[in-house]
Structure 1
Amino acid sequence: MTSPDAPMDTVDAEVLTGLRDLWSTVDPMPTGLLDQIKFAVDLEHIEMEVARQVPLQPAMARGDDEQSRLITFDSDSLTIMVSLRTNHDGTIRLDGWLTPAGRHPVELRTDNQDQATVSDEDGRFVLDLVTPGMAQLVVRPDGTTRTVTTPTISL
């Protein structure tokens, strides 16, 4: 019998490799999980207010038969509503509204390409030609020091 303090040998390595292979087969890691974790942890500002997602039903897009996705995020200081629609070229158009309204810097962080804009006086903003993938909205409400971020969503 070997002591638990003894150095690992080839038998130990084989047993651990077998266990890893067993779990990889029986319960594999979900595709993209590591990328999702890295993306969510890679926050620029540690003092962020995280908005909660409020589920809504899909709604018909104006003037066509395609469906758009409506998502609302709510936090103590800000509500963010976005409509996601697929463009003909496969990119995504994101129309958004902020409450309280005002000119607020808005950033869409993705694993492919970040985009930034500023909402208008009514709190409306548009980000077009967004590449599908994991994304997170970051809003810096004007006149506050608190940054609001959404959970990571799949576009």
Structure 2
Amino acid sequence: MRPELEDQGEYEPLDSCDERILSVINELHHRDDPLPEDLNERVQFVLELEAELDARVARVSRSSELVPTRGDADLVVGQGDPASVTFDCESVTVMVTPRPSALRELRLDGWIGPEGTYEVELRSPEGSRRASTDESGRFALEGLPDGQMFQLVIRPDEALQREGLPAVVVTPAVRL
């Protein structure tokens, strides 16, 4: 070690050279691996999910129409023909099909099994929308913005819960 550096320990205060190095590292992170734009929504989702004591998280049944991005954190439905996305959880299956309904808007047709009545909440950065299924488990939501992240919160009616269905099922977020 050079004698002029012997007095510098690992606990010395930062100097201008250290600050320049940290600045370059910060710029590299912002350029090459920026934070996801929807990070706040993802964190809020996790916090809200933890508040739901009996929630089950469904998993995506992948199809060739889904395009994973950013380490599988986002799932994007492909362009072209409408692609169905299926979510599975222990005893509940949810299938949704997005369809263009107007300029830059989508209609989301959905089916939940087993048959019965469910309350469906669609969460997106623009807020929540709610729908109820018919007795066969079918629902539709219209006027949804194209290209936004969304997730579904499914609440079976009391009769279905008595049959053993969880009180709340939450899907992962997907981008349409």
> 2: distance between equivalents of 1:23 and 1:57?
31
**Residue in 1 that maps onto 2:56:** 49
Unmatched 5+ stretches in structure 1: 59-65
User: Which of 98, 102, 117 lines up with 2:116 in the alignment?
Assistant: 102
SS of alignment partner, residue 19 of structure 2: helix
**Residue in 2 that maps onto 1:70:** 84
**Residue in 1 that maps onto 2:19:** 13
Between Structure 1 and Structure 2, which shows a larger proportion of helix residues? 2
User: Which of 116, 141, 151 lines up with 2:156 in the alignment?
Assistant: 141
How many equivalent pairs are there?
A: 144
> 2: distance between equivalents of 1:128 and 1:92?
6
> 1: distance between equivalents of 2:29 and 2:144?
36
Contact kept, 8 Å, 1:113 with 1:131, in 2: the verdict is no
Q: Could you tell me how far 1:21 is from its partner in structure 2?
A: 2.2
> 2: distance between equivalents of 1:19 and 1:56?
38
> 2: distance between equivalents of 1:150 and 1:74?
8
1:29-79 deviation digits (Å, cap 9, x = unpaired): 26xx141x3222213231321111112356xxxxxxx62120100000210
Question: Taking every aligned residue pair, what percent have the same amino acid on both sides?
Answer: 33
**Residue in 2 that maps onto 1:61:** none
AA matched with 1:16: L
> 1: distance between equivalents of 2:24 and 2:142?
48
Q: Could you tell me how far 1:121 is from its partner in structure 2?
A: 0.7
Normalising by structure 1, what TM-score? Answer: 0.83
Normalising by structure 2, what TM-score? Answer: 0.74
**Residue in 2 that maps onto 1:62:** none
Displaced runs of 4 or more, over 4 A: none
> 1: distance between equivalents of 2:49 and 2:169?
10
Unmatched 5+ stretches in structure 2: 66-79
AA matched with 1:119: T
Q: Could you tell me how far 1:7 is from its partner in structure 2?
A: 1.9
User: Which of 37, 41, 50 lines up with 1:39 in the alignment?
Assistant: 41
- Evaluate the alpha carbon distance shift between residue 41 and residue 85 of structure 1 in structure 2; reply closer, same or farther with a 3 A threshold: same
